[in-house]
């Protein structure tokens, strides 16, 4: 029997029309749709339809999976596909995370041994701060086939949303994870993109006020509840997880 393949599919930032043709095709051709679940209540991988008592909880995970909700609007057939829910908690405990990722990879390999085609849905692009990469690397190391389908990154969509470029000529672009220490990164020249900034907004707002750069915050870019804030002083104290800031040096 031919072994299956795992494909990490980037679904873009939020607008279903931004899915690529290749992403749509891979989803349609798949046997199993893999949904990452950050909720700590899910401790082991489970499948839809496996246990009727658990179905309400799984539907809740499904409804909260932003990537899946985006795909549903572009590929309605995805609702009828078998779904596997993988625990991917947002924690920084390396040993615990390793055990969880190893467990996820083992379960995926069971399906690959059966010749199944799996698609793992991830927001934006799978190569940019995506939990998919932990699985991708393990699957390849274990001797199975895995690939990635690129998606439009949130910062590119955000630049289009505010009708501005990210960089021109010799200007540099710096992509910065805002949930970590960013002091030195703020001193870099060029355009700075602060990703996943929601939890650090109060601190970021204090740091950014009074600086010379132009600052724009975009929350939930491409989604129904999208919001744009121009200027550091207008940044709210709270925002959702899918929040990024673009800092650009003012031109003369």
For the chain, which residues make up each domain, given as ranges? 5-149, 154-248
| 206: its two tokens | 């204090």
Q: What is the CATH number of domain 5-149?
A: 3.40.1010.10
* 121 contacts 68 by C-beta, under 8 angstroms: yes
Per-residue tokens: 75: 């590929």
DSSP-assigned beta bridge partners for residue 179: none
Residue 28 DSSP SS3:
helix
Residue 70's CB is within 10 A of a number of other CB atoms, namely 24
Residue owning tokens 């993988």: 86
Look at domain 154-248 and name its CATH class.
Answer: alpha beta
- Give counts: helices (H), strands (E), the chain: 7, 11
Among 46, 17, 19, 18, CA closest to 34: 46
Question: What distance lies between CA 77 and its chain's CA centroid?
Answer: 22
Query: For residue 28, what are its two tokens?
Result: 């349609």
DSSP notation for 143-180:
T-EEEEE----HHHHHHHHTT--S--TT--EEEEETTS
pLDDT tens string, the chain, 252 residues long: the values are 789 999 999 999 999 999 999 999 999 999 999 999 988 888 899 998 655 455 566 778 888 899 999 999 999 999 999 999 999 988 778 899 999 999 999 999 999 999 999 999 999 999 999 999 999 999 999 999 999 999 999 999 999 999 999 999 999 999 999 988 888 999 999 999 999 888 788 888 889 988 989 999 999 999 989 999 999 999 998 898 889 999 998 776
């Amino acid at each position: 029997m031919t072994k299956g393949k795992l494909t990490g599919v980037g679904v873009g930032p939020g607008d279903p029309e931004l899915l690529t043709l290749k992403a749509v095709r891979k989803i349609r051709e798949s046997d199993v749709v893999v949904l990452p679940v950050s909720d700590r209540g899910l401790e082991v991988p489970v499948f839809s339809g496996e246990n009727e008592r658990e179905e309400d909880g799984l539907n809740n995970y499904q409804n909260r999976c932003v990537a899946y909700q985006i795909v549903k609007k572009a590929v309605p057939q995805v609702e009828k596909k078998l779904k596997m829910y993988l625990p991917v908690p947002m924690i920084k405990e390396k040993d615990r995370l390793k055990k969880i990722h190893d467990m996820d990879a083992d379960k995926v390999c069971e399906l690959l041994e059966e010749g199944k085609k799996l698609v793992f849905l991830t927001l934006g692009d799978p190569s940019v701060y995506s939990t998919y990469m932990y699985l991708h690397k393990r699957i390849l190391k274990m001797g199975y086939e895995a690939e990635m389908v690129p998606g439009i990154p949130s910062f590119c969509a955000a630049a289009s949303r505010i009708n501005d470029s990210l960089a021109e000529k010799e200007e540099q672009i710096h992509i910065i994870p805002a949930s970590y220490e960013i002091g030195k990164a703020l001193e870099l020249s060029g355009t700075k993109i602060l990703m996943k900034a929601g939890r650090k907004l109060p601190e970021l707002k204090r740091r950014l006020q009074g600086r010379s750069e132009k600052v724009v915050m975009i929350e939930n870019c491409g989604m129904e509840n999208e919001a744009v804030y121009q200027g550091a002083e207008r940044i709210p104290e709270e925002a959702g997880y899918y929040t990024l800031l673009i800092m650009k040096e003012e031109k003369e």
